[in-house]
C-alpha cells in the first residue's frame, strides 16, 4: 500500500516528504535524555526548530547547541546537518550503493531532481564523487581547524569541535558547539580559522557539479562550461562587492568584512555580534542572504545562476537584444524561470516579515526582515532575536526554512495536480510597463 502511494508521487513530492520525515525523526532524537545535558530541559518546539534548522542547513538557533546537547546529541545534530547538506536523495542513494544494490531508473530520476542534474546519465558515478568530495573537504577542514581549537581545548574535545565545525561549514550551516551563543566571535582575529571556514563555505556553496568540473578540467577556465563560469564569476563578484560594502558601512576589520560577505551566502557563521551592525550593513547582508549559493550545492537562496540570468534578461529587454553570457545565448525559458523563482522568493520573504511583525510587536522591521531572509536563504545569521521569538514565530521560521531548502518553485509545484484537460485559449493583450 505504502509502496504504491510512493510510486504515484512525483520526484518533487518524494524529496519534500523525505526532508519532512528526517526533520521529524531529528526532533525526536534531540529530545532523548541521552541527547540533552543534565539539568537542561528542551521543549519540543525548540527541538523541532533545531532539527529543521539542521536539516535545512540553516543554523538559526533557539537553544545553544553547546550548552544544551551532550556529545551524542551534538553527533545527532552533525548527522542531521550532513543529511540536509548532501540531500535526502543523495544520502539514500549512497546507502543503497553501500549495501551493494543498484539504483533503479525512478531512483535516478529522483536524484536528478534533487541534485539539479541535466540528465540521469552518470548518476551513480556522480553520487560517488559527491561523497568522496565531501569526505575529502571535511577531513581537511577538520585537520586545519584542529590546529586552532587544540590551543584552547583538550585534544579530544578539540577534535570533536573541529569535526563538527568542518561539517557545519562545508554544508553551509552556521551551527557551533562553543556554547554561550558566541559562535566564532572569540576567533575573529584568527586568520587560519577564518580562511579555512571561508574555504569550506565557498566550495560547499558553489556546488558539486562545479567542483567536479574544476578538478576534471584542471582549473582551465576556457574549458569550463557556461554553468561553472557563471557560478564562479558571480560568486567572486558577490564576495568582493559584499566585503567592500560591509567594510564601508561597519567599523570592522577587512578580515571580518570578507568573512561575513562569504558567510552571508547561506553559511551563517559570524565573528562579530550582528546586533551591533548598522541598518546599512544589515541590508547588505540581507541582499547576500537572499541571493544565496549555487545550484546543486549545500546552500540556499535564489542561487547565483538565477541572479545572472535575471540580470542578463533585464539587460536584453532594455536593449532589445538577445540575452547572452560567456559567448552563449540564454534561452528565454531560463529568464522566465528565474523571474518566477525570484518573485516567489520575494513573496515568501515579504509575507514572512509581515507575519513576524504582527506576532512580534517589539521587533523592528530590519530585524524581522533579516531574520526571515536568513531563514529563507538557509543562512543562520541573526541579530540576536531568535531565542526570544514566540512559538508562532518559531513555527513560521520552520516553514520558511523548509521552503528555502526545497526551493519556492518546488514547493509551488507540489500543489499541482493534472486533471487531464487540454484546453487552449486565444492570446490576450495586456498593457504593462
328 beta partners: 325
The number of distinct structural domains making up the chain is 1
13 lies in a domain? Answer: yes
Report the range out of 120-129, 170-179, 218-227 with the highest average pLDDT: 170-179
349 lies in a domain? Answer: yes
Convert the pLDDT of each residue in 242-284 to its tens digit. 999 999 999 999 999 999 999 998 888 999 999 899 999 999 9
What local confidence, expressed as pLDDT, does residue 218 receive?
Answer: 79
170 lies in a domain? Answer: yes
311 lies in a domain? Answer: yes
What local confidence, expressed as pLDDT, does residue 17 receive?
Answer: 84
Name the average pLDDT for the chain: 86
372 lies in a domain? Answer: yes
278 lies in a domain? Answer: yes
What local confidence, expressed as pLDDT, does residue 217 receive?
Answer: 83
* Residue 276, domain extent: 2-413
Looking at 44-48, 130-134, 416-420, which range is the least confident one? 416-420
**What is the C-alpha to C-alpha distance for residues 146 and 140, in angstroms, rounded to an integer?**
10
**What is the C-alpha to C-alpha distance for residues 117 and 148, in angstroms, rounded to an integer?**
37
Q: Which residue has the cell 538565477?
A: 306
233 lies in a domain? Answer: yes
pLDDT band at 111 (very low <50, low <70, confident <90, very high): low
What local confidence, expressed as pLDDT, does residue 118 receive?
Answer: 62
**C-alpha angle 143/149/151, rounded to 5°?**
115
Convert the pLDDT of each residue in 138-158 to its tens digit. 999 999 999 999 999 999 999
pLDDT band at 409 (very low <50, low <70, confident <90, very high): confident
| pLDDT of 117 strictly over 60 | yes
420 lies in a domain? Answer: no
Share of the chain above pLDDT 70, in %: 86
Amino acid at each position: 500500500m505504502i509502496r504504491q502511494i510512493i510510486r504515484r508521487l512525483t520526484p518533487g513530492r518524494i524529496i519534500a516528504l523525505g526532508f519532512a520525515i528526517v526533520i521529524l525523526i531529528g526532533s525526536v532524537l534531540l529530545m532523548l535524555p541521552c541527547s540533552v545535558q543534565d539539568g537542561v530541559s528542551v521543549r519540543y518546539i525548540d527541538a523541532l526548530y533545531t532539527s529543521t534548522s539542521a536539516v535545512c542547513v540553516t543554523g538559526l538557533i533557539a537553544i545553544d547547541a553547546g550548552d544544551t546537547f551532550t556529545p551524542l546529541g551534538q553527533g545527532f545534530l552533525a548527522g542531521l546537518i550532513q543529511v540536509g547538506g548532501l540531500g535526502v536523495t543523495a544520502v539514500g542513494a549512497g546507502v543503497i550503493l553501500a549495501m551493494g544494490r543498484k539504483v533503479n531508473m525512478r531512483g535516478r530520476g529522483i536524484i536528478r531532481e534533487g541534485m539539479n542534474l541535466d540528465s540521469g546519465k552518470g548518476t551513480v558515478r556522480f553520487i560517488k564523487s559527491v561523497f568522496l568530495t565531501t569526505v575529502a573537504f571535511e577531513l581537511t577542514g577538520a585537520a586545519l581547524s584542529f590546529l586552532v581549537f587544540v590551543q584552547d581545548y583538550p585534544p579530544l574535545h578539540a577534535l570533536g569541535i573541529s569535526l563538527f565545525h568542518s561539517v557545519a561549514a562545508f554544508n553551509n550551516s552556521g551551527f557551533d558547539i562553543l556554547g554561550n551563543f558566541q559562535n566564532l566571535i572569540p576567533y575573529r582575529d584568527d586568520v587560519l580559522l577564518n580562511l579555512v571556514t571561508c574555504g569550506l563555505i565557498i566550495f560547499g556553496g558553489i556546488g558539486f557539479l562545479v567542483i567536479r568540473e574544476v578538478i576534471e578540467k584542471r582549473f582551465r577556465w576556457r574549458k569550463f562550461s557556461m554553468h561553472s563560469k557563471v557560478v564562479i564569476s558571480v560568486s567572486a563578484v558577490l564576495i568582493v562587492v559584499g566585503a567592500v560594502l560591509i567594510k564601508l558601512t561597519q567599523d570592522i576589520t577587512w578580515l571580518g568584512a570578507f568573512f561575513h560577505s562569504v558567510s552571508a551566502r547561506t553559511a551563517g557563521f559570524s565573528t562579530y555580534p550582528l546586533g551591533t551592525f548598522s541598518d546599512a550593513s544589515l541590508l547588505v547582508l540581507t541582499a547576500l542572504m537572499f541571493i544565496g549559493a549555487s545550484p546543486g550545492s549545500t546552500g540556499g537562496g535564489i542561487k547565483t545562476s538565477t541572479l545572472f540570468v535575471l540580470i542578463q534578461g533585464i539587460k536584453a529587454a532594455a536593449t532589445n537584444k538577445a540575452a547572452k553570457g560567456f559567448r552563449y545565448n540564454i534561452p528565454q525559458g531560463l529568464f522566465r524561470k528565474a523571474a518566477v523563482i525570484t518573485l516567489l522568493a520575494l513573496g515568501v520573504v515579504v509575507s514572512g516579515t509581515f507575519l513576524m511583525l504582527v506576532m512580534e510587536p517589539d521587533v523592528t522591521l530590519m530585524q524581522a526582515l533579516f531574520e526571515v531572509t536568513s531563514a529563507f536563504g538557509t543562512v543562520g545569521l541573526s541579530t540576536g532575536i531568535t531565542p526570544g521569538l514566540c512559538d508562532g514565530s518559531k513555527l513560521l521560521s520552520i516553514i520558511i526554512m523548509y521552503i528555502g531548502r526545497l526551493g519556492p518553485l518546488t514547493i509551488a509545484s507540489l500543489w499541482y495536480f493534472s486533471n487531464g484537460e487540454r484546453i487552449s485559449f486565444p492570446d490576450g493583450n495586456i498593457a504593462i510597463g
